[in-house]
Structure formats: C-alpha cells, structure tokens
Chains A and B, each alone.
Chain A
Amino acid sequence: GQNIDQPTEMTATEGAIVQINCTYQTSGFNGLFWYQQHAGEAPTFLSYNVLDGLEEKGRFSSFLSRSKGYSYLLLKELQMKDSASYLCAVTDSNYQLIWGAGTKLIIKP
C-alpha cells in the first residue's frame, strides 16, 4: 500500500528552528510537495522537490532523499503566524497525489 508518515503534532518556540519530517512508501515517485494549512483555511503551496537535495525559499527549506524515501521541511526564525498544519504529499507513478495526515505545528512565545 501507499503510505506517508509525518508526526501528528510538534511544538516550538518563537524565533527558533523546527524540522518536520516526512517518510513515504509509494508506488513510484514523481515529486514531493509541502503545503501549509492554517486552521479553517485551504492549503497553500510551499515547496516542491523532485531531485535529491535542499531547496531554500526564504525562511523555509525543504530537503529530499529519494533513496531513503524521506523529506523534511525546515522552518527558521519561527513566527507566531507559522502556527499551522504542514502537509506532505507525494506524486506516485500514476501522478496521483498521496497526502500525509499533516503535522500540526504549535508556536509558543
């Protein structure tokens, strides 16, 4: 079966750094996405990785290792507005997007 695992909830302090991990087992791989979803709102696109390595975009970075079936989203200089759920999603060999359950990130002052 196809499976994406990410922690259910994480807590971090304002100004700190947090890493949200995602592991996947899918039938084929055509890219991995990270989305941010604030409570009561629709998801917004954060990043896309299809090759191994780190993609940096401002305070957010996303890393991919295809051989390990592993990705992480790194958030630096955390702000209160970063409190949200972070969704990992993988496109499989049929270009179906398989969603993780999301990680709820709580930022404390």
Chain B
Amino acid sequence: GAVVSQHPSWVICKSGTSVKIECRSLDFQATTMFWYRQFPKQSLMLMATSNEGSKATYEQGVEKDKFLINHASLTLSTLTVTSAHPEDSSFYICSARGQAAQETQYFGPGTRLLVL
C-alpha cells in the first residue's frame, strides 16, 4: 500500500517552455501533497504544500507564479514549471499524506528536469 507515482520521470525541454509534472496517490486518498526540489548532493528542499481543493502554501523564496500547483482531487496534484530556465533544472519529488496530519509522507519516484 501507500504507492505514489510521478509522471514523467524524465523531461528535457528548451528554455522558456512550460513543463507539467503529475503526482498521483494510487491506493490511498492524499489530503495533502508536498512538492520538493533537490539539487545534486544537496538536501531536500520543500517548495510548497497543497491541500485538496485549496490554494497551495509556498515556502519562502519559492515563486508561486513560476511554480503553479494544482491539487484538484484527493489522488492528483500537478506542478507546472512555467517559462523554465536552465537554473530550474533539478530533481522534483512529490510526496503524499493521508487525512491525519501525523501520518507518514510517501514519496513519488521523482522527476528529473533538464532545461537546455
């Protein structure tokens, strides 16, 4: 149980284009989903927290107009990187948590984004 998928696993795009990443909880209802970014050999960095049906809460320093998050259902959240630039190249990982706030976060396999 507690499986989270992400799609795509790899994406290469040209600078200036937008990229959408999907995160799905396959066997449980995810009231809350989290989006992280991780640069090589660095720690996980939380970008934003999204609750189903509500606007996402962004961490300090994360541009909400650049990283659009939608959590329209209890099993799907999307992150859209708008007008991507080479400095946005990173490993983007989502996690999902059930209804209780103390529940475990389960991670998706991650999406590697390379912006040329």
Contacts and interface: CB of A to CB of B under 8 A. Distances in A.
Interface of A: 30-31, 33, 35, 40-45, 48, 50, 87, 91, 95, 97, 99, 101-102
Contact of B102 (A30, A35, A87, A101): A30
Contacts of B109: 41-42
Interface string B73-116: 00000000000000000010100000001101111111000000
Nearest to B44: A99
Contacts of B44: 43, 87, 99
Given A43-B44, A99-B43, A30 B101 contact: yes
Nearest to A50: B102
Contact of B107 (A43, A50, A95, A102): A43
Q: Which of B91, B93, B102, B110 has the most CB of A within 10 A?
A: B102
Interface string B24-60: 0000000000100000000110100000000000000
Given A42-B93, A87-B44, A97 B105 contact: yes
